[in-house]
Amino acid sequence: MRRYIRPAPRAFVPAVLLLATLAAVPASARDWNRADDPLLDGVGLHAGKIGGVGLSFKFPLQWWLYGQATGGIWHTADNKQHNAGFEVQYLLRQDRALRLFVAGGIGYFYHQERQAVLGGDDLVETRHSWNSGFGVGVEMLRGERFSVQVELDFTHEGRDGSVTVFPQVGAYFYF
C-alpha cells in the first residue's frame, strides 16, 4: 500500500510564518477591543484534525463565542480528498492582541486513491473518518487585521478510535 502525503499541510506552515512576518505592525495598531472596528469576521487558512484543512471562516455567535467552519478539496486523476470541519471557540480571555479560548469541534475526512494494476481493473482504496475533540488555543493579532491561531486538542480519530493530542494552526484576515 502506497502512503500519500498531502502537499497542502507541508506548504501551510511556511505560509503561516510568512503571513505573520509580513503582517507585523506596531503594537499600538493591534487591538481586538477597538470600538470603531471590533474585527468580528475572519477568513483564512486552517489545518487540523478536528477543525478541518483548507479555507476557513470565523464568525461570532456571541461576543464571547466564535464559530469556525473550514473545508478543503484536493483532487487529481488518481487521488481524491476532501474534508470539512466545524469548531466552536469559547473565549476565556481577550486583551489587546491575544485571545485565549477553549474549543470543541468535529471534522469529516475523505480520501479515495486509485492504483493501476497490471492486467486487471484498477484498485480503488477509500478511507473516511469522523474526528472530534476539544482543547485549548491562543490567537495572536499580528497586524492590524492579521492573526495567527495555535491550538492543542485531544482528538478522537474515528478511523481507528484512538485519542491523541494533536495541534491545529491557522492564519486569518479580519474584516
Q: What is the pLDDT of residues 76-100, one digit of tens each?
A: 988 999 999 999 999 999 999 999 9
State how far the Cα of 76 lies from the Cα of 78, in Å rounded to an integer.
6
Supply the DSSP symbol for 122: P
- Model pTM? 0.79
C-alpha cell, 135: 482543547
Q: Is the pLDDT score of 23 beyond 80?
A: no
Domain architecture of the chain: domains with CATH: 7-24+37-174 (2.40.160.20)
Q: What average pLDDT does range 145-161 have in this prediction?
A: 94
State how far the Cα of 104 lies from the Cα of 151, in Å rounded to an integer.
11
User: Between 68 and 12, whose confidence is greater?
Assistant: 68
Lowest-pLDDT choice from 7-16, 83-92, 128-137, 153-162: 7-16
Lowest-pLDDT choice from 70-84, 91-105, 111-125, 150-164: 111-125
C-alpha cell, 173: 484576515
Query: For the chain, first and last CA: distance in Å?
Result: 45
3 state DSSP class of 99:
strand
What size, in residues, is the chain?
175
- Reported as a single tens digit per residue, the pLDDT across 52-73 is 999 999 999 998 999 999 999 9
Supply the DSSP symbol for 142: -
Q: Is the pLDDT score of 22 beyond 50?
A: no
Number of helices (H), then strands (E), in the chain: 1, 8
Q: How far is CA 151 from CA 49, 81, 89, 121, in A?
A: 11, 24, 11, 43
Q: What average pLDDT does range 161-169 have in this prediction?
A: 94
According to DSSP H, which parts of the chain are helical? 7-22
Q: Is residue 135 a contact partner of residue 151, using CB atoms and an 8 Å limit? A: yes
